Amino acid sequence: MKAAIVQGAGQAPVYGNFDEPVAAAGEYRIAVTASAVSHLAKNRAAGTHYSSSDRFPFVVGIDGTGRLDDGRRVYFVMPRAPHGSMAERTVVSVQNCIVLPDALDDVTAAAIANPGMSSWMALVERARLEVGETVLVNGATGTSGRLAVQIARHLGAGKVIATGRRVEVLETLGADATIQLVEDQDELEQRFRRQFAEGVDVVLDYLWGSSAACLLRAGAKAGAEAVPIRFVQIGALSGAEVALPAAVLRSSAIELMGSGIGSVAFERMVKCIGDLLQAAVPAGFEVAATPVPLAEFERAWASDDSTRRTVFIV
């Protein structure tokens, strides 16, 4: 069968032939219909994610949509290695499959599941968002951040604050307030402190790096009158490390936590995805996606960016 394959460490994935998967007990064989590129899929393919495997060759992709042998449409996540989602067929544990709502098409489901899950899981399982609370999304102009603004609102946030570098994009997100991420750290900290002074309950951080450190300093300096902050670290687009004075945590009520593979029981993560997919159409969640035939994998993989989701269709 045709698939996108990583042949060895440090090698870019290529389009080629791979062995047909055979389902074992407790697994479904799935005829894949759509699979989207994500930061996680890219990093695992490159061997740079903490969940990456060193077994080669393997098929790229961690999730997608497809059809079971009985015709049911499903979303699936974490195929059994060495099989992945960017192939004509794959095999997945039964409990890692979710039957799709009739109103949700395969491409949209594949496009929305991974980035939408990142904020849904962070808000529901990690931050335990309560209705009426204020959510700040740090890095809201990419696909995941745009969805985070929509999902926070759907889950009951009373106020949503969005940060990003591009003012023209921030203005289109529908947030209650926006903060442009400027290079001047003193100025940026002042912008953050003005929002914290009004009360911020939850921070969803997709960037890490200097803006996250600035947010944490600003939150700590907001003082005892500010509401305690649950700071959920999700992505690291701006850097893998931060320089953070210890006093920031000692002098504040900030709860610093992460949200990703390993932070939540896997069955809870799958439930979050299922709840997200059920809500997608009624809530009107929007995600920009570009469908591309799997046969054009190498060109589209190399040109993918964070503004639209590249979805390979089979």
Amino acid (one-letter) located at 161: I
Same domain, 89 and 173: no
What's the CATH code of the domain at 30? 3.90.180.10
Q: Are 207 and 235 in contact (CB under 8 A)?
A: yes
Q: Which domain covers residue 80, as residue numbers?
A: 2-100+284-313
Same domain, 8 and 90: yes
What b/e readout covers 229-253, taking b as 16+ CB neighbours within 10 angstroms?
bbbbbbbbbbeeebeeeeebeeebe
Amino acid (one-letter) located at 117: M
Percent of the chain predicted with pLDDT > 70 = 97
Q: What is the mean pLDDT of residues 110-122?
A: 97
In tens, the pLDDT along 42-67 reads 888 877 777 667 788 999 999 999 99
Reported as half-sphere exposure (CB side, CA atoms, 13 A), residue 200 has a value of 32
Q: Measured at the alpha carbon of residue 279, what is the angle toward residues 31 and 312, in degrees to the nearest 5?
A: 30
- Sheet arrangement for strand 14-17: 14-17, 2-6, 58-59
- Residue 264 resides in a domain: no
In tens, the pLDDT along 227-257 reads 689 999 999 989 888 888 888 888 888 999 9
Expressed in percent and rounded to 5, the helix, strand and coil fractions of the chain are 35, 25, 40
> How many domains, the chain?
2
The H or E element containing residue 258 is: strand 255-258
In tens, the pLDDT along 303-314 reads 887 678 999 999
In tens, the pLDDT along 198-220 reads 999 999 999 999 999 999 999 99
Q: Are 294 and 313 in contact (CB under 8 A)?
A: yes
Examine the fold and report which residue of 241, 258, 275 is the final residue of a domain before the chain moves on: 258
- Residue 108 resides in a domain: no
Q: What tokens were used for 61?
A: 């992709």
Same domain, 130 and 216: yes
